[in-house]
Amino acid sequence: MNELDQVALTGRLTAALRALESRRPDHLFVDPFADRLAGDVGRRLMVEFGENSTIAVRTRFLDDRLTALRPEQLVIVAAGMDSRAYRLDVLRDAVVYELDRPEVLRLKDELIAAPPLGERHGVGVDLAASWAPALLDAGFDASRPTVWTVEGLVQYLTAEDVRRLIDGITELSAPGSRLLIDFVGQSLLDSAPMRPMLERFAGLGMTWRFGTDEPESLLDGWSCETSLFDAVGSSYERWGYPEVPRGTPGVGHGYLVQASRVDGQSA
């Protein structure tokens, strides 16, 4: 059941952190499936890497945006241990497609052992290869506006794979589609305080490869609203660091982006 590669196992670490947040009296969300999705392996990884507020902030940010957008067609890219199809009431009337490797989706099905709230399709793919045909074969309608989420993924990919992934999403996105995606800044990858954690990740085969401090430059054909993790975390009162303006020398940033598909033109 636990025979996943190390990068895929980060989904179980994420689930452990979501379970921890769900138990807080001032929780930002409640994920009733997170503890079983984490399992012992996720809890051990949380002990290894420690608690942090990034996952809670990112989860609440996406939950809030999805609730506001009320998608009719949602694609969760690198779904991992994401349980939104089972816990977000706003998705009861949505068609949800979850993209990830077949073994990851099988494991989640075993662990979650519950029906989704609405219509859910698990689509087994390699996101670093050609994944669009499998999505279309599963019933995805490229003529309809779609909401896409890409959460906690791109830092593990090469720059070429990030570009290919975003181009594939753009090609399948009708006008009016939305993209919710997070990025690690190159400034964060280069920062001295991050070095010990990144070295631990690399030692476990979870190397962070990609970062950018200009996420908008990757999103041709989209109009972008970019938020700093600092600002979003502070707004949720779940951030122990001072807010520092974007572009401040020597300061690393992470970014949460909500993008809207522009009809036929680059943003």
Q: How confident is the model over 195-211, as pLDDT tens digits?
A: 888 888 888 788 899 99
Write down the architecture of domain 71-261 according to CATH: 3-Layer(aba) Sandwich (3.40)
- This prediction has a pTM of 0.93
Ordered alpha helix ranges (H), 146-263: 159-171, 186-189, 195-203, 229-235
pLDDT by residue (tens digit) across 23-45?
999 999 999 999 999 999 999 99
Assign 267 a pLDDT band (cuts: 50, 70, 90).
very low
**Block residue for tokens 């992934």:** 165
More confident position, 6 or 13: 13
- The amino acid occupying position 49 is F
The closest of 64, 75, 18, 9 to 42, measured between CA atoms, is 9
Handedness of CA 212, 74, 59, 8 (dihedral sign): negative
Assign 264 a pLDDT band (cuts: 50, 70, 90).
low
User: Is 53 strand, coil or helix?
Assistant: coil
Decide: 200 and 49 in contact? Cβ < 8 Å.
yes
Decide: 157 and 128 in contact? Cβ < 8 Å.
yes
The dihedrals phi and psi of 4, each to the nearest 5 degrees, come to -115, 155
pLDDT by residue (tens digit) across 219-259?
999 999 999 999 999 999 888 777 777 777 767 789 999 99
pLDDT by residue (tens digit) across 80-135?
999 999 999 999 999 999 999 999 999 999 999 999 999 999 999 999 889 999 99
In terms of Cβ atoms closer than 10 Å to its own Cβ (0-12, 13-18, 19+), residue 209 is middle
Assign 266 a pLDDT band (cuts: 50, 70, 90).
very low
Give the model's pLDDT for residue 194.
85
Assign 52 a pLDDT band (cuts: 50, 70, 90).
confident
User: Is 25 strand, coil or helix?
Assistant: coil
- The amino acid occupying position 75 is V
